[in-house]
Amino acid sequence: MEMMQTLTIKELTDAVGGRITPRMVRHYHQLGLLPQPARSPGNYRLYSESDVQRLKRIVALKQQGFQLAHIQKLLETDASHDAPESLLSQLQQQYQVVVGQITQLRHTASALERLLGRDRSCQATQAEVLARLKQLEVQTQMHLNGFEELWDELDADVHAHPESFQESLQWLLPDLGDRSEIEVDLLSQLVLACGDVSLVPFVRVGKGAIAVSRAALKAGCSVITDVPMVAAALDHTRLRHLGCEVTTLIDDPHVTTAPDAEQAFWQQQNWRELLSKCPDGCILVIGYAPSILLAVCQAIQQQAIQPALVIGMPIGFSHAPIAKRQLMRSGLPFITIEGALGGGLLAATALNALAESLINKPNCHCYLTT
């Protein structure tokens, strides 16, 4: 009879990876996350393959943001039944805590943006504010409106000139030195469309997406949107100049929100025929309905359609993240935003930025060298 292979604690951590250490393993034993292992005659811990798999699950769940107490309950939950209501309640509480932290960070970011996002016309006031920050620290302990008074002084110059968006972005955008000029412009336009610089790390531009989009637009490809609201936000003047015709899958003017788009997806059927007739080499722009993006991915997988590029940015908290993951694995060039972030304006902005860059810089090849 073949004996089961055992591992030392060091071999266990090497097998799991993920920067797990023997000290962390011992801590997980104390918490009950890992069962106590067998011992060798020399009293060394001995682990099995099942311990490796359980520890990998713990590491994966921890990386996803689950707290250790929740991980323990998740691992103890019978996979054949729904998670206990108490666990779901605890996860909801954790979510609210995380949202509260994001809110606090957003307040901090907003304060920094008010200071850093200043153009040259405001630099004199900006320098004065910087010089007063140390004094303000002391005053604020007794006078909570100190910051508001400071912002009021900083804001006094805004009536004298228009805002210079590009100057502000130079201070606020992360380092994009590894991106092409066209991709940086695309990211900048998306930030300006929603006013949130933190969007940048979530934008995903598939390999070859910019090159393919430029070739397709130059050839006067068809542009197909999911709903009229997305089509309305497109730059029709530039698209006509390129010879691109815009059509809509769910051509219902009453569809104005993501919930409307989802309902129309299930209640109306004519969009399915329109999707199946999408010409090869078209550009699909999905900004509202997650289920339409799921259907697009399925049609691509079945080789029923062959678009040149899919801009997939629907809004949603369950279907949308799944649809975007499927898009990124489809093998076709794509532009998307991970998670629930997105919307029709952002989807349209992405295509508008690509069309504008093609017209303004038709001979630019920077995207081929990054």
pLDDT in tens, 113-124: 777 766 666 666
Sign of the C-alpha dihedral computed for residues 249, 253, 259 and 264 taken in this order: negative
The number of beta carbons lying within 10 Å of the beta carbon of residue 260 is: 17
Going by their DSSP bridges, the two strands 283-286 and 334-337 should be labelled as unpaired
Report the predicted TM-score, pTM, of the whole model to 2 decimal places: 0.77
The answer for residues whose C-beta is within 8 angstroms of residue 56's C-beta and 6 or more apart is 16, 18
Which CA distances in Å does 334 have to 7, 84, 94, 158, 340? 44, 38, 33, 39, 17
Virtual torsion, Cα 77, 79, 81, 83, nearest 10 deg? 40
Owner of token pair 């991980």? 71
**pLDDT (0 to 100) of residue 24:** 92
Task: Compute the mean pLDDT over every residue in the chain, rounded to the nearest whole number.
Answer: 85
CATH 3.40.50.10230 positions along the chain are 174-368
Under 8 Å between Cβ of 150 and 181:
no
Provide the β-strand partners of residue 335.
Answer: 205, 311
Report which of residues 363 and 91 the model is more confident about: 363
CA atoms within 13 A on the CB side of 60: 9
- What's the CATH fold of domain 9-76? Multidrug-efflux Transporter Regulator; Chain: A; Domain 2 (1.10.1660)
Which CA distances in Å does 62 have to 20, 41, 320? 11, 33, 23
d(CA 220, CA 232): 19
Per-residue confidence band for 168, with pLDDT thresholds at 50, 70 and 90 = confident
Under 8 Å between Cβ of 350 and 338:
no
- What's the CATH fold of domain 174-368? Rossmann fold (3.40.50)
Under 8 Å between Cβ of 246 and 270:
no
Per-residue confidence band for 137, with pLDDT thresholds at 50, 70 and 90 = low
d(CA 200, CA 191): 7
Per-residue confidence band for 2, with pLDDT thresholds at 50, 70 and 90 = very low
What are the tens digits of pLDDT across the range 21-61? Answer: 999 999 999 988 899 988 988 888 999 999 999 999 888 88
Give the Cα-Cα-Cα angle 132, 137, 138 (nearest 5 degrees): 105
What are the tens digits of pLDDT across the range 249-260? Answer: 999 999 988 899
Give the Cα-Cα-Cα angle 102, 103, 106 (nearest 5 degrees): 85
Under 8 Å between Cβ of 338 and 202:
yes
Per-residue confidence band for 288, with pLDDT thresholds at 50, 70 and 90 = very high
Going by their DSSP bridges, the two strands 203-205 and 334-337 should be labelled as antiparallel
Per-residue confidence band for 166, with pLDDT thresholds at 50, 70 and 90 = confident
Please give the backbone phi and psi of residue 333, each rounded to the nearest 5 degrees, phi first.
Answer: -60, 140
Per-residue confidence band for 344, with pLDDT thresholds at 50, 70 and 90 = very high
Q: What is the rounded average pLDDT of the residues 338-366?
A: 93
CATH 1.10.1660.10 positions along the chain are 9-76
The answer for residues whose C-beta is within 8 angstroms of residue 40's C-beta and 6 or more apart is 6, 46
